[in-house]
């Protein structure tokens, strides 16, 4: 769902479930000179906690660690000028439809 959301906005999916340095990055997408690491959070419509609320300080630290390792891997690519970490909140409705919300630049460090 999140990948489709980004593709519909002109991004190219570079990787899914990328394992890097003991971390896993859910999605890496690119549009021109912008590379985006995406943490995908999914919840069903009956879940008590929202997908965004499920990101603990420990999870945030892991995401930043993965982002640093990814940037080290791609930093030599002169076509990249910007790097961002987004959160994609995916919630399934009781009708089976999905709602995707992207929080661009949600995690910084």
Query: Are 63 and 39 spatial neighbours (Cβ–Cβ below 8 Å)?
Result: yes
Which class would CATH give 2-103? alpha beta
3-class DSSP state of 4: helix
- Coil, helix or strand at residue 15: strand
* pLDDT tens, residue by residue, 6-35: 999 999 999 999 998 788 899 999 999 999
CA distance 42 to 67: 20
Confidence of residue 47 (pLDDT cuts 50, 70, 90): low
pTM score, whole prediction: 0.87
> pLDDT digits over 66-93, tens only?
999 999 989 889 999 999 999 998 888 7
The predicted structure's pLDDT at residue 48: 65
DSSP per residue, 58-102: HHHHHHHHHHHHHHHHHTT-TT--EEEEEEEEEEE-TTS-EEEEE
User: What would the DSSP string read from start to end of 1-14?
Assistant: -HHHHHHTTT-EEE
DSSP 21: T
Confidence class for position 50, pLDDT limits 50, 70, 90: low
């Amino acid at each position: 769902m999140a990948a489709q959301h980004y593709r519909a906005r002109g991004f190219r999916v570079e990787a899914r479930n990328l394992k890097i340095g003991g971390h896993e990055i859910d999605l890496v997408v690119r549009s021109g000179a912008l590379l985006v690491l995406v943490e995908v959070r999914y919840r069903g419509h009956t879940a008590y906690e929202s997908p965004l609320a499920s990101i603990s300080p420990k999870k945030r630290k892991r995401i930043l660690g993965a982002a640093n390792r990814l940037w080290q891997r791609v930093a030599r690519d002169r076509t990249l000028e910007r790097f961002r970490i987004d959160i994609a909140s995916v919630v399934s409705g009781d009708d089976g439809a999905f709602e995707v919300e992207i929080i661009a630049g949600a995690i910084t460090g």
